[in-house]
Amino acid sequence: MAKRSVFITGGTGNIGARLVEDMVNDGHFVYFSSRSVDSGQWLIEQLGLSSNQAKALRLNFDEPIEELKLQELFDRLPDVIIHNARSLDNLRINKKGHITSEQFQKEFSNGVTFPYALTNMLLDNGMPLKDVIFISSMYGNVAPNPSLYEDFKMQSPVNYGVVKAAQIHLTKELAVRMAPKGIRVNVVSYGGVEGRVDETFKKRYANLTPLGRMLSHADLYPPIQYLLNNPDLNVTGENLKVDGGWTIW
């Protein structure tokens, strides 16, 4: 099995950091981006990664993509891009329980506009892409359940699910448009992941999903691995739900 050269955005967050670690352990070379050099270097040191395994890149989605010099970033041309970046600042709900128009636009840019432009830029610069993978959410498939939250209005930002739903449809659009180039485009929709919630939240979540638990870190890489390690599998435009059955109820 040929090992891949992977570029993942948002590589230092709860999901991204685990994917970086597991992809490296699986033998793939991984470029991962973060908004700061320090956080990228912290992950390199935390995981004990060498320059032959991974490289941290600074990438700020708020900066004009036209200024991005791709050829200076990559020593090994990536054949996979995983769109995983997000900004918690865009999801902070104000005192009235609303998301501002600016936050809505920035989150849409982070999740849809910038990834679309970045993918096209990689192709236009001769990158040998064969797989494009979006990281979405159960909330891209269904609306949130208020019973999960102690204060639904103040804890569930409306722009999050709307942008994740747009990612799922963008996946289908790009799958059709990139198929003639032999490029697969798929999306993985995760359920809630342990790591930033307390035990009370985990119990409420468990009562609302068929398999009775949140996702653990061990649940994150296998669906990505399925795609990376089967490059000839005839799958594109697929929305792979990994949510313990949340979206079937």
pLDDT at position 42, please? 95
Residue 86 tokens read as 């997000």
Kind and range of the H or E run holding 119: helix 114-124
- Separation of alpha carbons 243 and 209, rounded Å: 8
What are the strands, taking DSSP E only, across the chain?
Answer: 5-8, 29-34, 54-58, 80-83, 131-137, 184-190, 239-242
Beta carbons of 222 and 171 less than 8 angstroms apart = no
pTM to 2 decimal places: 0.96
Which residue is associated with the tokens 């409420």?
204
Rounded to the nearest 5°, which phi and psi values hold at 29? Answer: -90, 135
Mean predicted confidence (pLDDT) in 178-184: 98
**Which pLDDT tens digit goes with each residue over 143-173?**
999 999 999 999 999 999 999 999 999 999 9
Confidence category of residue 1, pLDDT binned at 50, 70, 90:
low
3-state secondary structure of 56: strand
CB half-sphere exposure, 8, CA atoms < 13 A: 28
At residue 233, does pLDDT exceed 90? yes
Beta carbons of 208 and 147 less than 8 angstroms apart = yes
Mean predicted confidence (pLDDT) in 61-90: 89
